[in-house]
Amino acid sequence: MEVNSENENWDLEIRANDNLFNLHLKDVWNYRDLLWLLVRRDFVSFYKQTILGPLWFFIQPIFTTLVFTVIFNQLANIKVGSAPPMLFYMAGTVSWNYFSDCLTKTSTVFRDNSAIFGKVYFPRLIMPLSIVVSNLVKFGVQFILFTALLVFFMFKGLAHPNAYICLFPIIMLLMALLGLGVGLIVTAMTTKYRDLTFVVTFGMQLLMYATPIIYPLAAAPQKYRWIIALNPMCGLVETFRYGFIGAGQFYSGAFFYSVAASLVVMVLGLVVFNKVEKNFVDTV
């Protein structure tokens, strides 16, 4: 029996050759149920078979803030301006953790999911997107902790949120784009160069010290400030902290540089990821 292929209505059509800039966003939307399932899996697996369960979401930023306060503020005597040291470090820790988690976990997407990628078709972009969304849930939990500390110091008259707090959604979006973009580039390159996995592991620790997390940008020597400001996270962290607790100032040049850098890195990451996903199974 002859079948008329022109009249067939397929739910999904997979083509071998495709445009490099075709990101299959329609397919990503069609698979949104899978996205939410992966987000739920990541969230539940984080505290599954642990004694303290979801409390680990709070323990990490609390202990990091306490250690930073004792080591860098009390022992190293690094000045953080007029802001309470604990609130200053909590703001930096919470924002940095979100960016760091997005980058490090998306940087191993191809390697960690090579088995399922080789067996089942679905838009590969679903995996890194699920990581970004699940990290956003984790950030939301830690942000509640930060908000409680902020309200406490506001009642004591030591924290002064200002109008720049309205940039908060944009800052979070840019952090996600920056972390996701760099992570996509790294995961694409690690299909051939596994060394990059180790570079990311210790590179993130070094990058944190090159970002104004434990010190305000104003405390850095004048001749080094422009070098620190080249880090796209610098403008985002400084704006986040200034908007919520009134510490430091708004560096417009650093912020708009962060906006441009985040968008460029994200577009570059998507293009590289889209190119490598077609044949990475042969090399990973």
Confidence of residue 83 (pLDDT cuts 50, 70, 90): confident
Domain assignment present for residue 47? The answer is no
Residue 212 lies in a domain: yes
* pLDDT level of residue 64 (50, 70, 90 thresholds): very high
Q: How confident is residue 14, by pLDDT bands cut at 50, 70 and 90?
A: low
22 is a domain residue: no
Q: Residue 255 burial (CB < 10 Å; 0-12/13-18/19+)? A: buried
Task: Indicate whether 1 pLDDT > 50.
Answer: no
Question: Distance between CA 12 and CA 42 in Å, rounded?
Answer: 27
Contact of 254 with 229, CB cutoff 8 Å? yes
Residue 10 belongs to a domain: no
pLDDT digits (tens, 9 = 90+) for 194-233: 778 788 888 888 999 999 999 999 888 888 888 999 999 9
The residue that leads in pLDDT, 116 or 70, is 70
DSSP annotation string for 23-45: --HHHHHHTHHHHHHHHHHHHHH
Give the pLDDT of residue 56: 80
Rounded to whole angstroms, how far apart are CA atoms 250 and 213? Answer: 15
Q: How many domains does the chain have?
A: 1
9 is a domain residue: no
Name the nearest CA neighbour of 206 among 228, 222, 224. Answer: 228
Domain presence at residue 20: no
The residue range of the domain holding 129 is: 32-41+53-282
Report yes or no on 69 lying in a domain. yes
Q: Identify whether 66 is part of a domain.
A: yes
pTM (predicted TM-score): 0.86
What pLDDT does residue 244 have?
A: 94
CA distance 65 to 74: 12
92-117 CB burial, b ≥16 within 10 A, e <16: bbbbbbbbbbbbbbbbbbbeeeeeeb
